[in-house]
Amino acid sequence: MLADGHAMPVLGLGTWPLDDDGARAVVGDALRAGYRLVDTATNYGNERGVGRAVREAEIPREELFVTTKLPGAQHGHREALAGLDESLDRLGLEDIDLYLIHWPLPMVGKYVDTWRAFVELRDQGKARSIGVSNFTPAQIEEVTEATGVPPVVNQIEVHPEFSQAGLRAWHDAHAIVTESYSPLGPDTAVGKFLAKNGPGLHHVAYAVDDIDATLPRLAAAGIQLIDSEPRVGIRDSRVAFLHPRSTGGVLTEIVEPAGGH
């Protein structure tokens, strides 16, 4: 549950670096498999595909949670207001569940004015919840002091080799949900394993033993997880089991389906 009272699923699907056609197919599969949170961004270039999959799904809109993000090129009050309208047009939706400032871009110096626009968009009902991504505590405090409205989410990189425990603790103390991206870590041993073994690898059960065992632990830690690969039936698939350093080192195991791959 977010601080503004809106519910947010614990598990979500990230859509980078899919194009529109890929996003339509993957998001459609993910929704049929049970996913309800879908994460996109203007910079991903796939909002049309994501929106089409959401609209084609035989799932009531109120049961889905769609996130998109404002690009740095549209920082500023007027630009941010127009930015969401453009995203909604590409998505084909009337509103968004969570709108994030993708990066603070302190050298540009417009994230406070951008946040003021976000508050207006929330009040207009175009964005049910508003948050940030890749912000520091000082930047979050600055936008909060300027508007009286804190972000309900800060989406940051979190994975076994980059836990950001201090920032997550600060979020907890300020009623801000930590939402993780790159949960396997692109530059970690896990990421290198996937890069090496990715071809022919259909599904990944990661963290401790599998994702089902891991989700309660993430939820208890206040972390929202975004997984870039929809998890459907794995019984007849080639599966990699990945374990974090906390279990004594990154261990990898390939399990072939019965009868070979």
The span from the CA of 89 to the CA of 180, in Å, is 27
What's the CA gap between 41 and 102, in Å, rounded?
8
CB 29 within 8 A of CB 232: yes
Q: Residues near 155 by Cβ (< 8 Å), separated by ≥ 6?
A: 100, 131, 132, 133, 134, 179, 180, 181
Residue 236 burial (10 A CB sphere; 0-12, 13-18, 19+) = exposed
Q: Are strands 251-255 and 239-243 parallel, antiparallel or unpaired?
A: antiparallel
DSSP state of 54: H
Residues labelled catalytic = 44
Cα–Cα distance measured from residue 244 to residue 159, given in angstroms and rounded to the nearest whole number: 9
